[in-house]
């Protein structure tokens, strides 16, 4: 699985992207966030308030309870502010 | 048509290229977003020195193309264009250009507003404002969500 | 700012001149009307070869200045511009340009639509369309009156 | 009084503008139109259907029953089609 982080989520995790093998038992974006949160303080901080985190799966906006699989590209970021 | 780019753009050239040879067009609506010198949420004292636009390469292009197609489904457009910049900009710099051309002005106006409202709430861009006091990420505004909601 | 002129205009230059030095502007909405090749009320076969715009010198400038002031009263604008051409034009030629600049896009969009709706129903211009079948004066459209009525 | 004619009203009257002395008894734009109508076929034709004629007095849109005086600038024209 490819994971990308943008804006202050990226700043807090300290990395822009990574490749991981999705562990057994992780079936949704929320579960993935919970799993990432325990990897260190930066990740814990990034996902401390899930209300402020948005997710895209395979480059489409998705809800936090959306299923994820090992072949997905998943991105975490704050609400967008383009335009 | 959509483009995501570092470079500046020229609105006159963009419109000419978009509408060239199509004399069925009666009206061309455009909207250009520029960098303000005041920080988004804060008081007037907090002068912005630079604004850096981060985006999600790949998703950005895909999302812009989708919404451009959607606008052409909802309204009767002869041509449409979205150009969105990324990278470091300074106050007064152009950020985004949306152009909609139609035989009738109401289609052009509505489609242009739809695209701008959508860009504000769905396009994967994030703005980092730097001032003398440091840098901060611009927060999304509820009013933008409300503006997008009316197009359901 | 308003101008009535024979000459063509360049939208990029107009916007640059209007907004130069004002970094409080966050959004610039513009609308450009162009000559269509199809006669207003009739079938698609009736190709327009020229469109001649007659106007009422004196009243035109006065009326445009009034409505420009009115838009600035109703919306929070940093700058606004109306440029309207007269004389003989051909399909594809630019007729009118309205530009509204504001800190917020909603003000810019609404003021621009207001000005265009108003121009269609109140500015003393008349269009004479010439095609192979002869020349005829474009008739006012009820839909334009309706569009103007919503701004009361 | 200065009178101006535009678009097809001008084409029908055959003149773009004229100076007249407002005759006694003419107090409104409608009365002025009626008086102009009897000057000849072109004028009669121009003002045959007053529903399609608009008036401006001193360069402001006005209603057909608006008062007119000898010092006014009065313009007759079809509904406008600018923009």
- What are the structural domains of chain B? 2-149 (3.90.1170.40)
Chain C residues in contact with D16 by the CB 8 A cut-off are none
Q: Across the interface, which of B59, B119, B139 has its CB nearest the CB of A56?
A: B59
Whether B95 contacts chain C with CB within 8 A: no
Q: Is B57 exposed, middle or buried (0-12, 13-18, 19+ CB in 10 A)?
A: exposed
The whole-number average pLDDT for the span C22-51 is: 82
If you count residue pairs, one on C and one on D, with CB atoms under 8 Å apart, how many are there?
70
Interface of D with C in 25-54 (CB under 8 A): none
The whole-number average pLDDT for the span A69-82 is: 96
- pLDDT on residue D68: 97
- pLDDT on residue C141: 87
Closest listed residue to residue C97, CA positions, set C83, C110, C109: C83
- pLDDT on residue C147: 87
Chain B residues in contact with A75 by the CB 8 A cut-off are 56, 59, 124
Mean pLDDT, rounded, of chain D: 96
> SS3 for B94?
strand
C-alpha distance from C55 to closest chain D C-alpha (Å): 8
Our answer on whether A and D touch (3+ beta-carbon pairs < 8 Å) is no
- pLDDT(C15) > 90: yes
Mean pLDDT, rounded, of chain C: 93
Chain C residues in contact with D10 by the CB 8 A cut-off are 54
The arrangement of strands across the sheet holding C125-131 comes to C87-89, C48-55, C125-131, C134-137
- pLDDT(B45) > 80: no
Chain D residues in contact with C53 by the CB 8 A cut-off are 82
Confidence band (pLDDT; 50, 70, 90) for C45?
low
CA dist B69 and A43 (Å) reads 37
pLDDT per residue as tens digits for the range C117-146: 999 999 999 999 998 889 999 999 888 888
DSSP lists the bridge partners of residue C120 as: none
- pLDDT(B44) > 60: no
Q: Across the interface, which of B28, B33, B106 has its CB nearest the CB of C32?
A: B28
* Cα D19 versus chain centre, distance: 12
The whole-number average pLDDT for the span B109-133 is: 95
- The answer to whether the Cβ–Cβ distance between C24 and B15 falls below 8 Å is no
Task: Tell me the residue length of chain A.
Answer: 83
- Nearest chain B residue to A4 by CA distance is B56
CB atoms within 10 A of CB A58: 16
One of 3.10.20.30, 1.10.3730.10, 3.40.50.10490, 3.30.590.20 is the CATH number of D2-77, namely 3.10.20.30
DSSP lists the bridge partners of residue C126 as: C54
- pLDDT on residue B152: 82
- The answer to whether the Cβ–Cβ distance between B10 and C11 falls below 8 Å is no
DSSP lists the bridge partners of residue B100 as: B29, B80
CA dist B112 and C105 (Å) reads 11
- Nearest chain D residue to C115 by CA distance is D83
CA dist C9 and C27 (Å) reads 21
Touching A (3+ Cβ pairs <8 A), the chains are B
Structure letter (DSSP) for residue B43: -
Task: Tell me the residue length of chain C.
Answer: 152
Residue pair B90/B35 in contact (Cβ under 8 Å)? The answer is yes
Whether A12 contacts chain B with CB within 8 A: no
- Nearest chain C residue to D62 by CA distance is C122
Q: Is D42 exposed, middle or buried (0-12, 13-18, 19+ CB in 10 A)?
A: middle
- The answer to whether the Cβ–Cβ distance between B140 and A8 falls below 8 Å is no
Q: Which residue has the higher pLDDT, B54 or B151?
A: B54
- pLDDT(A62) > 80: yes
Confidence band (pLDDT; 50, 70, 90) for C81?
very high
- pLDDT(B33) > 70: yes
The arrangement of strands across the sheet holding D73-77 comes to D17-19, D2-5, D73-77, D54-57, D60-62
- The answer to whether the Cβ–Cβ distance between C54 and D83 falls below 8 Å is no
Give the CA distances from residue B74 to residues B108, B111, B112, C106, C116, in Å, rounded to whole numbers and listed in that order.
11, 8, 12, 21, 22
- pLDDT(B116) > 80: yes
Confidence band (pLDDT; 50, 70, 90) for C40?
low
- The answer to whether the Cβ–Cβ distance between B125 and A4 falls below 8 Å is no
């Amino acid at each position: 699985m490819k994971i990308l982080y943008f804006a202050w989520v990226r700043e807090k995790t300290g990395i822009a992207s990574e490749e991981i093998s999705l562990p057994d038992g992780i079936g949704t974006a929320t579960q993935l966030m919970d799993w990432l949160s325990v990897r260190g303080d930066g990740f814990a901080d990034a996902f401390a308030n899930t209300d402020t985190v948005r997710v895209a799966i395979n480059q489409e906006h998705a809800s936090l309870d959306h299923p994820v699989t090992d072949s997905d590209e998943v991105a975490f970021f704050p609400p967008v502010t383009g335009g | 048509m959509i483009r995501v780019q570092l470079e500046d753009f020229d609105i006159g050239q963009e419109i000419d290229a978009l509408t060239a040879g199509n004399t069925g067009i009666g009206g061309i609506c455009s909207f250009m977003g520029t960098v303000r010198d005041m920080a988004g949420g804060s008081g007037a004292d907090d002068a912005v020195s630079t604004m850096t636009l981060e985006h999600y390469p790949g998703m950005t292009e895909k999302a812009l193309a989708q919404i451009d197609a959607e606008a052409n489904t909802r309204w009767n457009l002869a041509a449409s264009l979205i150009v969105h910049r990324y990278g470091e900009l300074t106050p007064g710099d152009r950020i985004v250009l949306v152009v909609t051309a139609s035989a009738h002005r109401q289609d052009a106006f509505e489609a242009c507003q739809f695209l701008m409202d959508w860009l504000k709430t769905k396009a994967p861009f994030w703005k980092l404002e730097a001032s003398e006091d440091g840098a901060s990420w611009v927060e999304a505004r509820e009013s933008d969500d409300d503006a997008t909601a009316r197009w359901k």
